[in-house]
Structure 1
């Protein structure tokens, strides 16, 4: 037996998911090549401009050396021609030609050096590497993501909500979360996004949750979320298992009686009673089909502790 208690009534939708970055930047090479070295890994804290990986640059370095030699020769030719023009031995037309040759050689050298610089992958911002999709010796196409960087924004939670419950979920809805990584602690949040298209196989919709205090969390941590549908303070509550089809069984003067009740907020653990009971009632905790009106019983009170979502 239990007696009704007064506390906060909570009805919630339960969902599970994980912590993810709000912003995730892909980092990809701007030129194709073979991965020569890795200088950061998953979990690495990096700074903007830091080298994360390098591609093989042997061919590009050879090209730079060759074009450097050509640019030096073009400059020598230009300077020699400039001297000859000043001494009146050649025309200014020849000087214009050598200047054009020098400009072209310098431009080719700059392009080659830029391509060689592109073989070093650098962090575009401060952050944490949360994924790496490549190994040394692997060939990478230009634009193929190698690292994924969490940066610039706080973490959030992403959970999957059953399609039968999604109509009761909306942006701004209060959420209470727990994670095994922080035993005994709850985290507050609110729904920030409900994806418009569900997963027809899993029959669920992805819901993203803005966290009030994400500092203690890390990317990838699993979370249990209770999305609050209804909440009422100072409600009269009984264990949900005691309520059967709009009635409960109570014991009065040592005998069973079937008592009609009107329920309010329906929680997974406890249900609000709006009418039909008071705090003095002795309620059968887990009634079965064998109960009958006016049967004599021996009472044994159960100890129940209030539970939050």
Structure 2
């Protein structure tokens, strides 16, 4: 009986010692010190590269294309014929109106001579003059309508796109050519209505495109549309590219998608920590071999890092991805490989 009690007591002591050992056993954590870098608050938007001046060229009247005179990428001059549309009926109309005009002209001359000789009244001359003017106007109108069968360049520019082939019927108003004229490329972006209040004309913009991943583009907000789109709930923002290339210079081309960061504020030398180290507005630190839970004041939050306004110092050892079971004052040891966090170029993570 006494021996059983002794065994039980011994087991209890062992269990107590094991529990105390487990309780005081140091937990191994990954840790790093914060870093200093720029904290950039930015509005993110997606945009498209486009010419500053875009000119679609379309026929005023539908018809079949009989000839296409230019190709995509070709430079054209103002007034140059780009394509021709069948116009046999208009040619006949012009010939008819020209004949009527010649007849009216001859009739006017005969009437004028007879009036001067006193064989006809002046009212007959007025009637002949009116007929001549009417037929002349009809002839000019016919020639203008025939000229509509030729698609011409409205200004000097570059043919960006051609949407028609010889023999194809083109409805009235459908663009056959798209030209870019006399201005460099720009970016048009859509900004969510929740962020548009933080966007102003003159704001600095940094941009990148997946088509040119190694290049970073800079620009400035030049225009903000006064009315938003109620469907997409966004506002159109025009961005002027710094050192913008011509539309055909490359490698930046019209139609490329651009990720834009519209800079709201920038603070150099800000204290930055990884988002994974945060538990709400608190962090875990390793101090003298013990874990300490510390509240912090957060600043700009990005996709990878967050700015710490107060509550943390440069020399503090920050626990990375702290487990949920950590306790205040718990013994801890830092796993090998303690590092300083790499600098971060943009707080919005774009």
Aligned to 1:2: 32
Residue equivalent to 2:338: 301
Cα shift readout 1:194-237 (whole Å, capped 9, x = no counterpart): 5532444x454443323223216322111111122321112222
Q: Residue 185 of structure 1 aligns with which residue?
A: 215
Say how many residue pairs are matched. 306
TM-score, L = length of structure 1: 0.81
Deviation of the 1:58 alpha carbon:
0.8
**Which of 291, 307, 317 lines up with 1:282 in the alignment?**
317
Matching residue of 1:209: 239
Stretches of structure 2 that go unaligned for 5 or more consecutive residues are 1-30
Aligned to 1:196: 227
Paired position in structure 2 for 1:238: 273
- Structure 1, residues 76-135: CA drift from partner, whole Å, max 9, x if none? 66667778899x696686877766655554443333222211211111112334455555
The correspondence for 1:271, drawn from 306, 322, 346, is 306
Q: What is the 5 A alignment of 1:157-172? A: 157-172=187-202
Alpha-carbon RMSD: 3.3
Summarize the Cα distance change of 1:203–1:308 in structure 2 as closer, same or farther, 3 Å threshold. Answer: same
Structure showing greater Rg: 2
Unmatched segments (≥5 aa) in structure 1: none
Query: TM-score of the superposition, structure 2-length normalised?
Result: 0.72
**1:177 Cα deviation after fit:** 0.6
Contact preservation (8 Å) 2:218, 2:242: yes
How far residue 157 of structure 1 moved from its aligned partner, in angstroms, is 1.7
Q: Do 2:82 and 2:153's aligned partners in 1 also have CA atoms closer than 8 Å?
A: yes
* Offset at residue 303 of structure 1 (A): 6.1
Q: The residue matched to 1:184 in structure 2 has which SS?
A: strand
Q: Deviations over 1:27-81 (max 9, x none)?
A: 3333443333333455544322121222211111122233334444555666677
Query: What residue in structure 1 maps to residue 264 of structure 2?
Result: 229
Distance 1:179 1:199 in 2: 27
- Report the equivalent of 2:168: 137
